[in-house]
Structure 1
Amino acid sequence: MSTTPTISRFPSDVYADRLARAARATQAAGLDGLVITPGPDLQYLLGATASSLERLTALVVPADGSDAVVIVPRLELASLGPSAVAELGMPVRDWTDGDDPYRLVAAAVGVGSGRIAVADAMPALHVIPLADRFGRMPILATAVLRELRMVKDPAEVAALRRAGDAIDRVHARMAELLQVGRTERDVAALIAAAIVAEGHEAADFVIVGSGPNGADPHHEVSDRVVEAGDIVVIDIGGAVTPGYYSDSTRTYAMGDPAPDIADTIAVLERAQQAARDAVRPGVTAAAVDAAARDVLVAAGLGDAFVHRTGHGIGLSVHEEPYVVAGNDTPLVPGMAFSIEPGVYFPGRWGARIEDIVVVTDDGADALNRRPRGLTVLG
């Protein structure tokens, strides 16, 4: 079952502006049109959370400036109700079983070279018929939409801020939720309920990595019982209206930690601070990654940091820009991403500290405000 929440949306003029910019970007890329099936891109462009399985639902944005069109199975017309389609007066081309929806896409795109871009998550069962109809394989829409979605407008930043505040309230309750004697699975269930209670539409992910499980960055939950002396990684998030995500990690100690563990986590906290301090317009994503990594390497912990420093966030939990070595994308105000260095010692323990930050005119605004150092519980 999908965890995508049912959400409201922004005013219709927001989507009108996004559609106009998407059309211009499509034309600038030398394409004839953009074909977007349900997913984060459609949500961004129309505020629509329609579904698309074997029957094609798609937004078609022609590059020539003609009207964008929505193609939808007649039996799923109601799914467009919460979107901005009606307010925008957008043409809707419905179809029934036995019709060829790919012909409708081609008609909406119009005459051209047959070069279209499609949503990254479009199923192959739609990509192949479109390739047959246009006589060439589509490209991914990332090249067209990445600049639009990477830079958040003030309304998007406000939504991300609400998400950050909500997930901070969950971390503030961790002494109540994370206790010795409970299994990771039991703790996760309590956290998931708290995520919803504190303002999210749903709990999208809950990682409870206790003791040796904390050394697996993508551990979720298990039936392991949380023990006294454990170091526990809690990485949690979900979406708030209208669909923007939180994502925050803190590390907890179930009792006073050994001095070497406390010292290591203090270095990790300095690395996370160095990365946050490095964020400002014009700096590359790679440079932010290096700022965290350099601190850990200097302390002899470079080999324990096994992943990138961060990822963009918005209508998807993971999106561009990625804060990783080799990404020379310069930061600009409005970009939002995580800063989450971690250290992992297989078979023993792990730790991670994660905030969402938004690039401002002169630095970074951290959307998570909970203490970043090791928090001792019990």
Structure 2
Amino acid sequence: MELYTPERLAAARRAAAEAGLGALLIGPSADLRYLTGYDAHALERLTLLVLPADGEATLIVPRLERPAAEASPAPGMGVRLVDHEDGTDPYHIVQDLIGDRAKTVGLGDRLWAEQVLALRDTLPDATQRLAGAVLRGLRLRKTPAEIAALRRAGRAIDAVHERMAEWLRPGRTEADVAADIATGIREAGHATVEFTIVAAGPNGASPHHGVSDRVIAAGEPVVVDIGGKMPDGYCSDSTRTYCIGEPPADFADYFAVLRDAQRAAVAAVRPGVTAQAVDAAARDRIAAAGFGPRFLHRTGHGIGLDVHEDPYLVSGNDTPLEPGMAFSVEPGIYLAGRHGARIEDIVVCTGDGAERLNTIDTELVIL
């Protein structure tokens, strides 16, 4: 199964036309990679996909980046490459391609402000809107090829968690452990390391702590949230909570609540259930046990070419789940100044329920 196919461009053209957009203008981003397979660097030099709703796709690239663009799937998808030299104005190329034929254009959500303003000057009569409103619907439901890619990413990050006993032990700093994990992420087949959170003891009460030079002590819970990007561009993201020796009694009690809440949220996933209902499945159980204020974030986020993308499992999001939607299920409980815990799996909504792409145990791991 191929990931990057001409059908993506065709679907984007149809979606743009249905939204009343004459063209999409997409810079370096997951949207650009989704549409062309090209993983472009975000530079001050203009890289821009010009995709008219009724015409040929053209990728404008700096001349020094042309070899990379030629090596990407883009040419094989029917994308024409046009390069520009340093010191020349590339925006006239956009003018030549669009002219006054597009009265409304969709700009990539991640375009730099200076490029947005330059495009406004280049196409002064065109109304600018966000392209994300069009592309979000295409990326929201993963194809079988994308699900297979996410499944490979899930297996790869599971393999890293399975090695945690090699690295996580008393006397080492969070930073030491994170460095070993980063190496392990690459060894497991990822192209890049996106993040390594190693949060021991009171640092575990900060959901996005990162790492520090704090020395890990015996008896401390440690939250390990890690993820990377595979060579095909699809991401992994998984959290497990460990304890260096026997955990504090109160920690073991609320970890059991968290484990049950996470399992309940996964079990709630099926077509037609809303994103906020999955959030409630976890949140209601945590609140009923008296830890409601200690659950500080949404239950989950979509994942694909971005680590965080639609759909978001959060109160107020009444989007019904559909087969092919992929997202994290990651409730947490955080006791400021003491410790915290989080359990995270990537889950895909199937035709009749859910598939966990992270298959390792969600129980507390005592090392």
Which TM bucket (shorter chain)? Answer: over 0.9
Distance (whole Å) between structure 1 residues aligned to residue 122 and residue 260 of structure 2: 55
| 1:11 Cα deviation after fit | 4.5
Q: Which of 103, 107, 115 matches 2:92?
A: 103
How far, CA to CA, are the matches of 1:16 and 1:113 in structure 2? 22
Which segments of 5 or more consecutive residues in structure 1 lack a partner in the other structure?
Answer: 1-9
Shift in alpha-carbon separation, 1:106–1:114, aligned structure 2, 3 A: farther
Q: Are residue 244 (structure 1) and residue 234 (structure 2) matched?
A: yes
Query: Is residue 61 of structure 2 the alignment partner of residue 72 of structure 1?
Result: yes
Aligned-residue offset at 1:125: 1.4
- Residues in 2 aligned to 1:89 and 1:268: alpha-carbon distance in whole angstroms: 49
Q: Which amino acid aligns with 1:212?
A: P
Is this contact kept in 1: 2:75–2:81, CA < 8 A? no
Which of 235, 246, 254 is the matching residue for 1:264?
Answer: 254
SS in 2 for 1:250: strand
Aligned to 1:128: 117
What is the one-letter code of the residue matched to 1:363?
Answer: G
- What is the CA deviation profile of residues 307-337 of structure 1, one whole-angstrom value per residue up to 9, with x for unaligned ones? 0000011111111111111111111111110
Report the identity percentage: 57
1:265-344 equivalence runs, <5 A: 265-344=255-334
Is contact 2:59–2:82 with CA below 8 Å preserved after alignment? yes
| Counterpart secondary structure, 2:293 | helix
Q: Distance in 2 between matches of 1:31 and 1:106?
A: 16
The DSSP-based 3-state class of the residue aligned with 1:139 is strand
Deviation at 1:194, TM superposition (A): 1.0
1:83 lines up with 2:60 in the alignment: no
SS of the equivalent of 2:66 reads helix
Q: Does 1:222 align with 2:212?
A: yes
1:29-178 equivalent positions in 2, closer than 5 A: 29-63=19-53, 65-112=54-101, 114-135=103-124, 138-178=128-168
- Which structure 2 segments of 5+ residues have no match? none
The one-character-per-residue Cα deviations of 1:32-91 (angstroms, maximum 9, x if unpaired) are 11001112111111110122412211111101x211111122232112122223223432
For the residue of structure 2 that corresponds to 1:126, the secondary structure is helix
Local SS of the residue matching 1:138 = strand
Query: Matched residues in 1 for 2:98 and 2:297: separation?
Result: 41
Aligned-pair distance for 1:293? 0.4
In the TM superposition, what is the alpha-carbon distance from 1:98 to its structure 2 partner? 4.5
Count of matched residue positions in the alignment of Structure 1 and Structure 2: 366
1:371 aligns with 2:361: yes
After TM superposition, the structure 1 stretch with the greater mean CA deviation from structure 2, 111-120 or 272-281, is 111-120
Contact kept in structure 2, 1:180 and 1:254, CA below 8 Å: yes
Aligned runs of 1:178-257 on 2, under 5 Å?
A: 178-257=168-247
Q: Structure 1 residues 363 and 110, CA, compared in 2 at 3 Å: closer, same or farther?
A: farther
Other structure's SS at 2:71 match? coil
Check 1:86–1:55 CA distance in 2 against 1; reply closer, same or farther (3 A cut): same
**Cα distance, 1:94 vs structure 2:** 2.3
- Sort the Cα spacing of 1:331 and 1:101 in 2 relative to 1 into closer, same or farther, 3 A: same
Q: TM-score, normalised to structure 2's length?
A: 0.96
- Give the letter aligned to residue 167 of structure 1: I
Whole-angstrom distance in 2 between the partners of 1:82 and 1:151 = 27
List per-residue Cα deviations over 1:98-136 (Å, max 9, x = no partner).
443222213323434531111111111110011122225
- Residue 244 of structure 1 aligns to a residue whose secondary structure is coil
* Conservation of the 8 A alpha-carbon contact between 1:159 and 1:241: no
Q: 8 Å contact 1:115–1:134 — kept in the other structure?
A: no
SS in 2 for 1:24: helix
Whole-angstrom distance in 2 between the partners of 1:268 and 1:191? 25
The secondary structure found in structure 2 opposite 1:23 is helix
Counterpart of 1:49, as a letter, is D
Is the contact between residue 313 and residue 337 of structure 1 (CA under 8 Å) also seen in structure 2? yes
Query: Does the 8 A contact of 1:47 with 1:82 survive in 2?
Result: no
CA contact (8 A) 1:35 1:61 kept: yes
2:5 aligns to what SS in structure 1? helix
Q: 1:32 to 1:301 in 2, by over 3 A?
A: same
Q: What is the DSSP-based 3-state SS (H/G/I as helix, E as strand, rest coil) of the residue aligned with 1:236?
A: strand
Q: Distance in 1 between matches of 2:5 and 2:173?
A: 45
Within 5 Å, give how 1:348-359 maps onto structure 2.
348-359=338-349
Distance 1:74 1:170 in 2: 39
